[in-house]
Amino acid sequence: MARTRREVETPQSNSLVASAARIGQSGQKSYSRIAESIAWQTEAWRMYHIIGEYRYSCDFVGSMLSKAILFASVKKAGKRKQVKTGPAVEIMESLFTDDDGRAEMLRQIGVHMTVAGELYIVSYPNPEQFGDDGDVWEIATPAALNKVDGGKWRVNNKVLDVDPDDVLVIRVWRPDPEKPWLATSPSQAVLPILGEILGLTQHVAAQVDSRLAGAGILLVPSEMTFPPPPPIEGAEQRVANDAEDLMRVLAEAMQTSIQNREDASALVPIVIKAPAEAIASIKHLTFWTELDEQAIALRNEAIRRLALGLDIPPEVLQGLSESNHWSAWAADESTIKAHAEPLLKLVTTALAQGYLRPLLDGEVPEGTLRTFSIGADTSEMRLRPNRSKEALELYDRGELNGAALRRETGFDEEDAQQSADTIAFYLRKVASGSTTPELVEAALRKLGVELEVPQQLVDQPPVGTEGRPAPSLKEHPETGIPDADISERRRQARERGEVKSALPENRQDAAALIAATEQVVVRALERAGNKLKNRMQVKPTCAATDIYKFVKSDDTAFLLDDAWTHVAAIAERHGTPTAWLEGVLETYCGDLLREQKPHSFRAFTNYMMTNMMTEAIA
């Protein structure tokens, strides 16, 4: 298939868009290099090689595109579907030799389209290296592709010793909106910004070199006198002027303090005597300018403008330090949808028109050639958010299968349970549950799991775990409104003095009393928890009201001491004896503390209703 494609001529048609063209074969477009584009493209490539931030941005686009998977597609019934078999698949498999070659091709295309907005895909036979049917694929810039004497092609600085008609050349470019025959790219618009970054970088480098070479000039009045420097042992003494003496004194003092931090000269200043007007005349001249203080800020601003001008999210250059997981994922999605996918569409359209369809001509039914195209799968580019929690919840609710669960939690299909694992899993579930043999047998049969049951168990009558009995209301306390007989008996008992106090007579009063006293119970448990924490010197991670469940103490009198301060007021408000109410609450809380049982409003309600009913009827 790879060799026969060179015998196919592209039909003459005006349907080729301005982003792709086959060049150099008989009957096809003639080759011509656009000199108008090459000038700024050369400058853009120069910036790519010397400005690190710009190079990183271009390589970022190339790396994104390299993750895409190209495939042949066909349009049927208004929908485009991937082609699984046939000549289109074979043609796509020969593109840039293999999967690794196609990934490298897309990487280079991403860089070239970001820098120059134009490239050439070149393919030619190389029998010496690959055999008679082998092809060599290359990406070339406009400046690296031309024809030499004899009509042979020069590609990337080498002359191809093959028949020019056997060389496939496809020009791919991003059309300029004003002049579609010319190429454009994001780099063309940011060249002034790149020049600004380069100039500021050179300025900072020059200032560093200047400061390393010298620290400027120190102007000293001639009227000043300086102390003589210490003699240098072994050195010839010579007469020096005052300025030389000053520099020797300063050098000696600085050298001593640097070498020995404990030396007194590191803290004692150098004393120079001079008239006051002479001291005011000392000046230090430097060669650097005020631009030095602003150079870094100006360069950062230029980098920000560069990030906004390129076809990438600004976060790529400015960083994601202030982003969370979701905002980073959103930036990644923006990169794919707004930048990578449009560029991939341009590339796939170019390859479909300049490579796939010409080779399919005559291989597919007449009239269907235009339905074939090239698609790009970008799923490998996406950094999806962590959806493992949602996957587990949907799986538990029966809305997700096991394969999807493994995919979202980062496991492979090889990690799925095998038959033995499934049997062991359900054995553990059955062993730890409370059910009947009939239910277990039905569930396992439905799951297709068969267990070997010992014969002695088969011969015995089934003995299962006794199911939970149906709830009975026989001993359950009455929580409704007392009937007339009970109310009348209670009233008569109070008149005869047989009832110790007037307890709530209706449901509303009883509910109000229970709600008020339940808050007292919670407060008592909280005080008890704080006392346990202080006595045992523990640092629990639970609420104070729950500490007693984990730290046991039989000294309930201490834990509940001074816990019923507000009971008298509650009892008076509800017409209930204070002593009786305190006793009921202390008994309830004492039982909880000793037995470490949890408190619940429902259990407390039942407890209070039982005590009120018992107390009301003598």
Residue 564, pLDDT > 80, answer yes
The pLDDT of 145-173, averaged and rounded, is 87
- Return the minimum-mean-pLDDT range out of 126-135, 151-160, 276-285: 126-135
Q: What pTM value is reported for the model?
A: 0.53
Q: How confident is the model at residue 284 (pLDDT cuts 50, 70, 90)?
A: low
Query: Do residue 510 and residue 363 come from a single domain?
Result: no
Residue 200 in domain: no
Answer yes or no: do 94 and 110 share one domain.
yes
pLDDT above 80 (res 69): yes
Tell me the residue type at 96.
Answer: F
Lowest mean per-residue pLDDT among 260-264, 515-519, 541-545, 579-583: 260-264
- The distance of Cα 125 from the centroid of its chain, to the nearest Å, equals 45
Q: What is the mean pLDDT of residues 22-36?
A: 46
Distance (Å, whole) CA 356 – CA 91: 7
| Mean pLDDT of the 311-326 span | 63
Length of the chain: 618
Residues 145 and 66 in one domain: yes
Kindly state the average pLDDT of the residues 373-387: 78
What is the distance in angstroms between the CA of the first residue and the CA of the last residue of the chain?
A: 106
User: Which is more confidently placed, 520 or 536?
Assistant: 520
Q: Which residue has the higher pLDDT, 590 or 428?
A: 590
Query: How many other C-beta atoms are found inside a 10 Å radius of the C-beta of residue 402?
Result: 12
Same structural domain, 348 and 396: no
Of residues 198 and 18, more confidently modeled: 198
Domain with 574, as residue range(s), is 484-616
Q: Are residues 16 and 140 in the same domain?
A: yes
563 falls within a domain:
yes
Res 12 pLDDT > 60: no
pLDDT bracket for residue 36 (50, 70, 90): low
Quick check: 29 pLDDT over 50? Answer: no
Band of residue 594 on the pLDDT scale cut at 50, 70, 90: confident
Helix (H) or strand (E) holding 394: helix 388-396
DSSP state of 415: G
Domains in the chain, number: 4
8 pLDDT band, cuts 50/70/90, is very low
**What is the rounded CA–CA span in Å between residue 577 and residue 594?**
26
Mean residue pLDDT across the chain: 75
Q: Are residues 149 and 22 part of one domain? A: yes
Look at residue 195 and tell me if it is in a domain: no
- The pLDDT of residue 483: 45
In a domain, 290, yes or no: no
On whether the CB atoms of residues 521 and 561 are closer than 8 A, the answer is no
Q: What is the mean pLDDT of residues 138-152?
A: 86
Residue 137 confidence class, pLDDT cut points 50, 70, 90: very high
Contact 143, 38 (CB under 8 A): yes
Band of the pLDDT at 477, cuts 50, 70, 90? very low
pLDDT at 478: 47
Q: Of 51-65, 340-354, 532-546, where does mean pLDDT reach its minimum?
A: 532-546
Higher pLDDT: 170 or 268? It is 170
Please write the tens of the pLDDT for every residue from 506-516.
Answer: 677 788 888 88
Q: Are residues 276 and 403 in the same domain?
A: no
Would you say residue 312 has pLDDT above 70? yes
Tell me, yes or no, whether 162 lies in a domain.
Answer: yes
The better pLDDT of the pair 129, 61 is held by: 61
> What gap in Å lies between CA 420 and CA 450, rounded to an integer?
11
Pick the more confident residue, 585 or 262: 585
Mean pLDDT of 23-50: 67
Q: List pLDDT tens digits, range 433-465.
A: 555 666 666 666 666 666 665 555 555 554 444
Question: Per the structure block, which two tokens stand in for 289?
Answer: 């300018």
Q: Is the dihedral of CA 312, 316, 317, 320 positive or negative?
A: positive
Q: CA-to-CA distance for 285 and 290, rounded, in angstroms?
A: 13
Pick from 31-45, 156-170, 529-543 the range whose average pLDDT is largest. 156-170
Instruction: Assess whether 441 and 496 both reside in one domain.
Output: no
Q: What is the mean pLDDT of residues 224-251?
A: 61
* Residue 205 confidence (pLDDT): 78
Q: Is residue 327 within 8 Å of residue 71, measured between CB atoms?
A: no
Is residue 166 assigned to a domain? Answer: yes
Which of 404, 424, 459 represents a domain boundary (last residue)? 459
d(CA 222, CA 220): 6
Structure tokens at 472: 């009975």
Q: Are residues 170 and 69 in the same domain?
A: yes
Last residue of a domain, one of 255, 270, 285: 285
pLDDT band at 140 (very low <50, low <70, confident <90, very high): very high
Q: Label residue 10 by pLDDT band (50, 70, 90).
A: very low
Nearest-angstrom CA–CA distance, 418 and 564: 62
| Model confidence band, residue 484 (pLDDT cutoffs 50, 70, 90) | very low
Do 118 and 134 sit in the same domain of this protein? yes
For residues 66 and 163, membership in a common domain is answered with yes
pLDDT at 317: 77
User: What residues contact residue 587 under an 8 Å CB cut-off, 6+ apart?
Assistant: none
Residue 504: predicted pLDDT: 63
The answer to whether residue 294 sits within a structural domain is no
Q: Select the more confidently predicted residue: 8 or 253.
A: 253
The alpha carbon dihedral of 471, 474, 476, 480 has a sign of: positive
pLDDT band at 92 (very low <50, low <70, confident <90, very high): very high
Q: Report the distance separating Cα 395 and Cα 510, nearest Å.
A: 46
Other Cβ atoms within 10 Å of 52 Cβ, number: 11
Identify which has the larger pLDDT, 236 or 402.
402
140 burial class (0-12, 13-18, 19+ CB within 10 angstroms)?
Answer: buried
Cα–Cα distance between 557 and 537 in angstroms, integer?
Answer: 20
- For residue 137, being part of any structural domain is answered with yes
- Are 553 and 594 in the same domain? yes
Token digits of residue 247: 């520099």
Q: Is the pLDDT of residue 491 over 90?
A: no
